[in-house]
Amino acid sequence: MSSRSSRADALNENNLSTGAHVPHEPDEPDFAEQRSRLYRGLVNVERVASCGLLVATLGLIVLQVVSRYVFNTPFSWTEELARFALLWFTFVSAGFVMARRIHIAVDLLASKLGRVGTIVLDTFAMTAVVVTAAVMAVAGAEFAAGANRLLAPATSLPMSVVYSAAVTGFALIFLHAALHIYLNIRHPEVVPDAMENLEREAV
């Protein structure tokens, strides 16, 4: 326990000297957000959009239930819009989760490695995420473009708008994962170790 606390003290001293700050709570802005207003604005947009889409989904579901069981005149578009809002919420919030490094992760191996080993492993994992997200974003864009003439049956929305949720989500994941790789290489002192990630996820 003493070695861990001494290592944390050393990292904190280094962080103070470089102006870096490793957040300990999921709602705290991380290093990249502290350095860039533009990036902090993007992350805040993701968070606000995720909250708005979740509230919209809940509101549409409640409206559907009330119209069906209270007034006995259900709307034909609420269920469809709720599904679309949930889809967009899933992908936009995935970008926010990647930005804050609070996604679910198995840290059994990382917890056994030293600081350097943890950063190398995290960089390898982020590289796999970058490649996968890039492939999915490109494939999703092609699929969405091909569905431009298809319309949703109840709302008549173009299905390309619905399928664009996946393109947006994977593009955000690609951006955040690529930035994490850069930070792993240029600023390894701000990369949270396995135990710090577990503590943040438990908050």
Using alpha carbons, list the distances in angstroms from residue 132 to 119, 127, 136: 20, 9, 6
Question: 158 pairs with which residues across the strands?
Answer: 151
Q: SS3 for 156-180, per residue? A: CCEHHHHHHHHHHHHHHHHHHHHHH
Rg (CA), the chain: 21
Asked whether residue 82 is assigned to any structural domain, the reply reads: yes
Per the CB < 8 A criterion, the answer to whether 181 and 98 are in contact is no
d(CA 29, CA 12): 16
Residue 166 lies in a domain: yes
Domain assignment present for residue 13? The answer is no
Question: What pLDDT does 10 receive?
Answer: 42
| Residue 23 pLDDT grade (very low, low, confident, very high; cuts 50, 70, 90) | low
Return the pLDDT at 47: 93
Which run of H or E residues covers position 5?
A: helix 2-18
19 in a domain, yes or no? no
CA distance 29 to 140: 30
Total count of domains within the chain: 1
Low-confidence winner among 37-41, 89-93, 137-141, 187-191 (lowest mean pLDDT): 187-191
Q: Which of these ranges, 1-15, 21-35, 61-75, 87-101, has the smallest mean pLDDT?
A: 1-15
Q: Give me the pLDDT at residue 39, please.
A: 86
> Would you give the distance in Å from CA 4 to the centre of its chain?
29
> Do 22 and 11 touch, CB atoms closer than 8 A?
yes
The values of phi and psi at residue 23, to 5°, are -70, 150
Residue 7 forms part of a structural domain = no
| C-alpha span between 109 and 72 (Å, rounded) | 56
SS3 content of the chain, % helix, strand, coil (to 5): 75, 0, 25
Please tell me the distance from the alpha carbon of residue 112 to that of residue 183, in angstroms, as a whole number. 22
Q: Give the angle subtended at the CA of 116 by the CAs of 42 and 2, to the nearest 5°.
A: 100
190 assigned to some structural domain = yes
Q: Tell me: the pLDDT tens digits for 43-82?
A: 999 999 999 999 999 999 999 999 888 888 888 888 899 9
The answer to the question of residue 163 being in a domain is: yes
* 34 vs 131, higher pLDDT: 131
Tell me what pLDDT residue 26 has.
52
Measured between alpha carbons, how far is residue 145 from residues 135, 140, 159, 171 in Å? Answer: 16, 8, 9, 16
Q: Which domain holds residue 61?
A: 29-202
Residue 146 lies in a domain: yes
Q: For 142-176, how does the pLDDT look when each residue is reduced to its tens digit (9 = 90+)? A: 988 888 888 888 888 888 999 999 999 999 999 99
What confidence tens digit (pLDDT) does each residue in 82-127 have?
999 999 999 999 999 998 888 776 666 666 667 777 788 888 989 9
pLDDT-based confidence at residue 29 (cuts at 50, 70, 90): low
Q: How confident is the model at residue 195 (pLDDT cuts 50, 70, 90)?
A: very low
pLDDT of residue 108: 65
Inform me whether the pLDDT recorded for 8 exceeds 50: no
